[in-house]
């Protein structure tokens, strides 16, 4: 898959929570590394990503604003 191409399968979009036609390979990579970071040590994730420096991997493990908002929403609504 070349840079800028999208994945158009409904199943892959639905599973990842993306709108149809908006899944780019880099977004999938970020999502995978971000979600995997919760379950494996940083050193292992750095190797999986093919990075030499864990600082590079940490870029992928930082939540974006939407992810932060989702976590805050889940905390707020769980308290009701």
- Span 46-68, average pLDDT: 88
7 three-class SS: strand
Distance CA 37, CA 61 (A): 7
Instruction: Count CB neighbours of 46 within 10 A.
Output: 20
The pLDDT value given to residue 3 = 43
Q: Is the pLDDT score of 79 beyond 60?
A: no
Residue 16 near residue 23 (C-beta atoms within 8 A):
yes
The pLDDT of residue 72: 87
Question: For the residues 61-79, what does the mean pLDDT come to?
Answer: 80
C-alpha closest to that of 66 among 19, 20, 25: 19
Residue 63 phi/psi, 5° resolution? Answer: -70, 145
| Tens digits of residue pLDDT in 18-40 | 667 777 788 888 888 988 988 99
What is the reported pLDDT for 1? 41
* pLDDT score, position 78: 64
Task: Report the length, in residues, of the chain.
Answer: 80
């Amino acid at each position: 898959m070349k840079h800028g191409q999208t994945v158009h399968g409904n199943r892959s979009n639905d599973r990842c929570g993306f709108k149809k036609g908006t899944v780019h390979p880099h977004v999938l990579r970020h999502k995978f590394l971000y979600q995997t970071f919760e379950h494996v040590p940083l050193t292992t994730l750095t190797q999986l990503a093919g990075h030499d420096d864990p600082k590079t991997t940490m870029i992928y493990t930082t939540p974006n604003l939407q992810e932060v908002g989702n976590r805050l929403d889940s905390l707020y609504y769980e308290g009701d």
